[in-house]
Copies of this chain bind each other. A is one copy, B any other.
């Protein structure tokens, strides 16, 4: 699945691209069932909120078949190959739960500084591409993005190990305030099955979720093959060191996705 010229331009300008309806209801149902299986396990790869509710399931593509099948999906792989102009490998695979009632905040951050400082990733030639497993609404902790913030490169960040259970290199309030003053905040919302891709240096975060609506998202982080990490300090299940290129596989959903892309 290739992005159009216009989509490439939008991505370059804004730093993100939201593609509604890329996965159909049946696929979403399969992925939700997989997420439920994954989150019911007791494993070290599943990180929890401070109250014990699952927050993130890392590397579940290693032990869950449905998740594994998603890794090579052409709707996720090809746009990133296109952007990087080369093959990609899996840097990280995770499901973020943002559980109903208890899903906690993700503080304002860029992804690349964490990948760079904690994993030794050379350049921001990697990216998150996300699949919405639930309807993402304004009320259930949608991702908040500061458009165009990726143009500032890697901003100064500090290591937040206090706010949540997940250590993260986060931005200070003054930096976020200035960026937001210039370009505001967008919250790409939409039905389950939508796909959201965003630049490694885009500034983003999300508030807690107090609603009865869970907001599960699968994040596939793909890196350009030439951008393999050099100094991983985090567990292998968080920063993979298998640099085998991903083989893109079509599953016959092309028509649906192309329709979404041309709309």
Q: Out of B101, B107, B185, B210, which one reaches A139, CB within 8 Å?
A: B185
Partner of A207, one of B176, B180, B185, B208: B208
Question: Does any Cβ of B come within 8 Å of A144's Cβ?
Answer: yes
A141 within 8 A of B: yes
Which chain B positions have C-beta within 8 A of A181?
212
**Assuming A107-B210, A108-B210, A207-B210, what are 11 further A-B pairs, CB within 8 angstroms?**
A100-B173, A100-B177, A139-B144, A141-B207, A144-B210, A144-B211, A177-B212, A180-B211, A180-B212, A207-B209, A208-B208
Please indicate the chain B residues that have their CB under 8 angstroms from the CB of A100 in the complex. Answer: 173, 177
Determine the residue in chain B with the shortest Cβ distance to A211: B185
Identical copies of this chain, number: 2
Residues of A within 8 A of B (CB): 100-101, 105, 107-108, 138-139, 141, 144, 173, 176-177, 180-181, 185, 187, 205-212
> Which residue on B lies nearest to A209, using beta carbons?
B207
Cross-chain pairs A/B with CB under 8 angstroms, 9 sampled: A107-B210, A138-B139, A144-B211, A176-B212, A177-B212, A185-B211, A205-B210, A207-B208, A207-B210
Chain A contact surface mostly: loop
Q: Which residues of chain B have C-beta atoms less than 8 A from A101's C-beta? A: 173, 176
CB distance from A162 to the nearest CB of B (A): 10
A212 adjacent to B173 (CB under 8 Å): yes
Q: Which residues of B contact A185 (CB under 8 A)?
A: 139, 211
Complex Cα distance, B209 from A122, in Å, reads: 34
Instruction: List 10 tightest A-B contacts by C-beta distance, closest first.
Output: A138-B138, A177-B212, A180-B212, A207-B210, A101-B173, A208-B208, A207-B207, A207-B208, A205-B210, A139-B185
Alpha-carbon distance between A161 and B227 when the two chains are bound, in angstroms = 49
Residues in chain B near residue A177, CB distance under 8 A: 100, 212
In the assembled complex, which residues on chain B have CB atoms less than 8 Å from the CB atom of A209?
207
Distance (whole angstroms) from the CB of A157 to the closest CB of chain B: 15
Q: How many angstroms between the C-alpha atoms of A60 and B25 in the bound complex?
A: 53
With A100-B173, A173-B100 as known contacts, state yes or no: A210 contacts B138, CB within 8 Å: no
